[in-house]
């Protein structure tokens, strides 16, 4: 069965099972664009002991309800609206699928995760590397960790893709010589993209003895390209179109936790160099590169530091800092969005932003998003 067909059938099964689990006198309204609806979850009512007489008088007019959790209506894109326990005060996650009834929460999420891994494992080296990152060995098993690391490193080295080589750096920790392993991955990236300043910064962080070479490489680079959401984009591309939107968003939130942490970005190295006398012109050129030709939001902070070292005018430095702060505020945090964090409008906005990131990079996508937010605020 094709994944799209399987998910269409699964959606029907989820609705049928949910109806059986949550069936109560109340009904719900389907969400816009939802595949189906489900009954609300009513509070339990006590039943009279066997053989007892039915209540009469005022008691009959005012039935007693058992105390239960505070409920709220949740909107799950692709499924519908129904009642569920409300988040507790101060809960950072406004909607936790694990707290929802199994037929709409952990069960379809686990099925979607398993389907995703199957699809990735049947793909190219990039896809198979993503599958490994999403399924590391569990428990304390050194042999399993070694096998997992070797497989990931082999896939990265055969992929011919700089971002996959970057994903694999964490696997070097289990190798006999972790530093040599990391150096090898960075050199492979430089061979593929010698004009990418991000790789030269990584070399400076990993090998202080190569600092002069790294500095020359930085000054000769024409771009800074980190591809900061490449793993998330690769995973989302492997999901079938028929997968309910709320599950797609939930898996996206999981990917945030699985994505390899970015390297230091050479910030300390560049700052040290720019404190040396006579480097104002070079550091100004790097500040322009990081602020104008980078695809990663975090480089704007480094650009501000370099601009100060280069002696840029105070107002120009302030504009750069203000933009970094504005774009950080504009950065989507869909998994913590209040109201209905997994409704279809949220999912669609998130998917549109990801498409923009894939097309133009994180910084340009955030600039466009910030401009739209400002225009919307002006209207209201």
Summarize pLDDT for 317-354 with one digit per residue, the tens: 999 999 999 999 887 766 555 567 788 888 888 888 88
The residues that bridge with 82 in the sheet, in sequence order, are: 74
Mean pLDDT of 137-146: 90
Summarize pLDDT for 270-304 with one digit per residue, the tens: 999 999 989 999 999 999 999 999 999 999 999 99
Mean pLDDT of 353-376: 90
Where are the chain's structural domains? Answer: 266-331+344-373
Rounded CA-CA distance 345/63 in Å is 39
**H/E run at residue 251:** helix 245-258
**H/E run at residue 74:** strand 71-76
Residue 63 burial (CB < 10 Å; 0-12/13-18/19+)? exposed
- Taking CA atoms, 294 is separated from 30, 223, 297, in Å, by 43, 6, 8
The structure's pTM equals 0.77
Rounded CA-CA distance 267/29 in Å is 52
| Residue 336 confidence (pLDDT) | 53
**Orientation of helix 197-206 relative to helix 211-220, angle to 10°:** 170
Q: Which of 296, 235, 310, 236 is nearest to 266 (CA)?
A: 296
Given CA atoms 71, 72, 78, 80 in this order, what sign does their dihedral have? positive
**Orientation of helix 178-192 relative to helix 142-159, angle to 10°:** 20
The residues that bridge with 139 in the sheet, in sequence order, are: none
| Residue 46 confidence (pLDDT) | 34
The residues that bridge with 71 in the sheet, in sequence order, are: 85
Mean pLDDT of 358-370: 91
Rounded CA-CA distance 378/362 in Å is 24
**Selection from 52-66, 196-210, 224-238, 244-258 with the highest mean pLDDT:** 196-210
Q: How confident is the model at residue 228 (pLDDT cuts 50, 70, 90)?
A: confident
Q: Which of 272, 261, 310, 276 is nearest to 290 (CA)?
A: 310
């Amino acid at each position: 069965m094709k994944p799209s067909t399987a998910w269409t059938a699964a959606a029907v099964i989820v609705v049928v099972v949910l109806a059986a689990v949550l069936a109560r006198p109340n009904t719900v309204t389907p969400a816009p664009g939802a595949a189906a609806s489900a009954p609300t979850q009513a509070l339990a009512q006590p039943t009279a002991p066997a053989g007892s007489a039915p209540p009469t008088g005022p008691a009959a007019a005012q039935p007693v309800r058992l105390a239960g959790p505070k409920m709220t209506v949740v909107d799950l894109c692709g499924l519908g609206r129904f009642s569920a326990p409300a988040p507790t005060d101060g809960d950072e996650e406004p909607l936790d699928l694990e707290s929802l009834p199994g037929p709409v929460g952990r069960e379809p999420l686990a099925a979607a995760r398993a389907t995703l891994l199957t699809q990735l494992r049947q793909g190219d080296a990039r896809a198979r590397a993503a599958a490994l990152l999403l399924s590391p060995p569990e428990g304390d098993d050194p042999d399993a960790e070694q096998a997992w690391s070797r497989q990931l490193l082999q896939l990265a080295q055969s992929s011919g893709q700089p971002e996959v080589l970057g994903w694999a750096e964490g696997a070097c920790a289990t190798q006999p010589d972790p530093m040599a392993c990391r150096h090898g991955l960075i050199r492979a990236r430089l061979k593929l993209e010698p004009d990418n300043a991000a790789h030269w910064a990584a070399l400076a962080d990993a090998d202080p003895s190569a600092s002069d070479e790294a500095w020359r490489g930085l000054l000769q680079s024409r771009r800074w390209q980190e591809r900061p959401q490449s793993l998330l984009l690769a995973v989302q591309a492997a999901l079938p179109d028929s997968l309910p939107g709320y599950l797609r968003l939930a898996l996206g939130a999981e990917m945030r936790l699985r994505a390899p942490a970015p390297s230091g970005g050479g910030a300390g190295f560049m700052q040290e160099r720019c404190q040396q006398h006579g480097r104002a012109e070079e550091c100004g050129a790097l500040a322009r590169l990081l602020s104008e030709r980078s695809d990663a939001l975090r480089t704007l902070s480094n650009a501000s530091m370099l601009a100060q070292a280069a002696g840029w005018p105070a107002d120009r430095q302030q504009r750069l800092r203000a933009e970094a702060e504005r774009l950080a505020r504009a950065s989507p945090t869909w998994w913590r969005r209040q109201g209905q964090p997994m409704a279809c409008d949220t999912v669609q906005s998130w998917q549109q932003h990801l498409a923009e990131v894939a097309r133009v990079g994180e910084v340009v996508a955030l600039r466009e998003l910030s401009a739209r937010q400002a225009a919307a605020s002006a209207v209201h």
